[in-house]
Amino acid sequence: MDPQPTQGKPRPDRDAGEGVPARGAALRILDSVLRKGLPLESALDRAAQNLTLPADRALAHAITAAVLRHLDDLDALIDGATARPLPNDAKARMALRIALAQRLVLGTPAHAAIATVLPLVDGGPRKLVHGVFGTLSRSDARLPDPPNLPAAVAERWRIAWGDAVVAAAARLAAMPAPLDLSFASGEGAIEGGLSLAPRHLRLPAGARPTELPGFAEGAFWVQDIAASLPARLLGEGRGRRVIDLCAAPGGKTLQLAAADWRVTAVDLSADRLKRLRANLARTHLAADVIVADALTFTPAAPAEAVLLDAPCSATGIFRRHPDVLHRVRPKAIAALAERQQAMLSRAAAATAPGGTLLYSVCSLEPEEGEQAIEAFLTRHARFAIDPVEAAELPEGITPAAIGTVRVLPGMIEAAGGADGFFIARLKKK
């Protein structure tokens, strides 16, 4: 390939107009995530308002996710091919990240990868972008497999969990996530599915839920195996009351309703509760739905069980949401941990004597997990850990010595891995 523009030859970027909007959206999304700290999904929703074709939205998402999964390695290639380092937020660096991620991760032909990106730097450093891309293409540059996690994240997780978990996280970061389904009842029988727990089925990455048998009838919903554990650990409801304090979009509400709990589903976001209501309607399950702030919500009466699936850094779901690897900083983790303590106190007050408080976060940060529960227990003498038994968990996920559950990268890896999670089941005296 020779990406150098030559007089008289067709200008590839002029011929590639149809691919440009998706790349333009990718540039805006990356800027929103990396510079403004916006979650990928929100940035995508905003950027996609200017995209008319659903295929462009999917492509913008695929490109930005590829860039975010390989960001440090892409930057190392770019830095190795430029005389002076480009500023982190320079448009030229962003354009090169997009072109290289397409070429080296998504397999886009070099011609299309560069042609669709050059218009993004029109009136700017076109020559530089073109030159660096050409140099890297000619030298047959490649990305390491597995990718390197951002140095700060790798160091944080190495201190918390050790080298083997960091290595497993890097492998997971590049691995397409399988599709996990939770069923309202019985076992789903879908060809190619693997059941890791009752009412669970795992399908290979790329399976489309809406095209699977049973979707229209509401037989199942999409939920990572790790995310399905908190509700499982409350067992069968037998008509008892549970308050699901941060409930939307409702994966755990659906599980609890299906397990015969009388569920009060609370969430601050009316918009997200619309999705919860739609999920209840599709699956023919029932719950009382309340828009309220978990920091001030007081139920009419305490409940036998309270599930607090607290808002958190979400660093455990990095393979589906690679933006968390770049936006979540220690300061934000500390602020979230403080809010989690306040929410835990409200959840404690909403739990009836003899009842269970189930706390969970999809975070890989001990501050939001082990340390949060330790701090809570020192302040709430009426609560104690109700230890989870190994038999309550899927094979390959084992409880910690004190009876909490920590799902780490590397667990059930042969079966496709799981999101990072922390769960504590607490009993109130």
Ligand X SMILES: C[S@@+](CC[C@H](N)C(=O)[O-])C[C@H]1O[C@@H](n2cnc3c(N)ncnc32)[C@H](O)[C@@H]1O
CA distances from 164 to 69, 143, 169, 261, 366 (A): 19, 21, 9, 39, 17
CB nearer ligand X, residue 267 or residue 323: 267
Q: Which of residues 82, 135, 195, 269 is near ligand X by CB under 6 A?
A: 269
241 and 234 Cβ atoms separated by less than 8 Å: no
Binding status of residue 272 toward ligand X by CB under 6 A: yes
Minimum Å gap between C-beta 362 and ligand X is: 6
Q: Which two tokens stand for residue 67?
A: 């860039």
Q: Which of residues 51, 246, 256, 411 is near ligand X by CB under 6 A?
A: 246
- What's the maximum distance between 2 C-alpha atoms anywhere in the chain? 83
Minimum Å gap between C-beta 246 and ligand X is: 3
Stretch of 188-196, 261-269, 372-380, 415-423 lying at the interface with ligand X (CB under 6 A): 261-269
CB nearer ligand X, residue 251 or residue 399: 251
- Bridge partners of 289? 265
Angle at 419 between CA 184 and CA 231, to 5 degrees: 35
Minimum Å gap between C-beta 247 and ligand X is: 5
DSSP secondary structure code for residue 210 in this structure: G
Tell me which of 201, 362, 418, 426 is the catalytic residue: 362
Q: Which of residues 38, 257, 294, 325 is near ligand X by CB under 6 A?
A: 294
Q: Which of residues 247, 303, 305, 388 is near ligand X by CB under 6 A?
A: 247
319 and 70 Cβ atoms separated by less than 8 Å: no
Query: Is residue 23 packed enough to be buried (19+ CB in 10 Å), middle (13-18) or exposed (0-12)?
Result: buried
Q: Which of residues 24, 146, 250, 410 is near ligand X by CB under 6 A?
A: 250
Q: Which two tokens stand for residue 300?
A: 């009419």
CB nearer ligand X, residue 295 or residue 384: 295
Q: Which of residues 3, 237, 249, 394 is near ligand X by CB under 6 A?
A: 249
Q: Which of residues 295, 332, 334, 335 is near ligand X by CB under 6 A?
A: 295
Q: Which of residues 267, 323, 365, 368 is near ligand X by CB under 6 A?
A: 267
Q: According to CB under 6 A, which residues from 302 to 361 bind ligand X?
A: 309, 311
The letter for the amino acid at 165 is V
Minimum Å gap between C-beta 343 and ligand X is: 7
Stretch of 52-60, 106-114, 150-158, 265-273 lying at the interface with ligand X (CB under 6 A): 265-273
Residues 6+ apart with CB under 8 A from 275: 248, 249, 250
Would you say 115 is a known binding-site residue? no
Q: For the stretch 73-98, what's the b/e string if a residue is b when 16 or more beta carbons lie within 10 angstroms of its beta carbon?
A: bbbebbeebbeeebeeeebbbbbbbb
Is 362 noted as a catalytic residue in this protein?
yes
Distance separating alpha carbons of residues 356 and 345, to the nearest angstrom: 14
Stretch of 26-34, 104-112, 187-195, 291-299 lying at the interface with ligand X (CB under 6 A): 291-299
Would you say 248 is a known binding-site residue? yes
Stretch of 287-295, 365-373, 395-403, 419-427 lying at the interface with ligand X (CB under 6 A): 287-295
Pairing label, strands 288-291, 262-267:
parallel
Minimum Å gap between C-beta 294 and ligand X is: 3
Establish whether the linkage from the previous residue to 249 is cis, with ω within 30° of 0.
yes
202 and 188 Cβ atoms separated by less than 8 Å: no
Q: Is 304 helix (H, G, I), strand (E, B) or coil?
A: strand
Binding status of residue 232 toward ligand X by CB under 6 A: no
Annotated binding site for S-adenosyl-L-methionine: 246-252, 267, 293, 309
Annotated binding site: 246-252, 267, 293, 309
Binding site residues, ligand X, CB under 6 A: 246-252, 266-269, 272, 293-295, 309, 311
Give the residue numbers marked as catalytic. 362
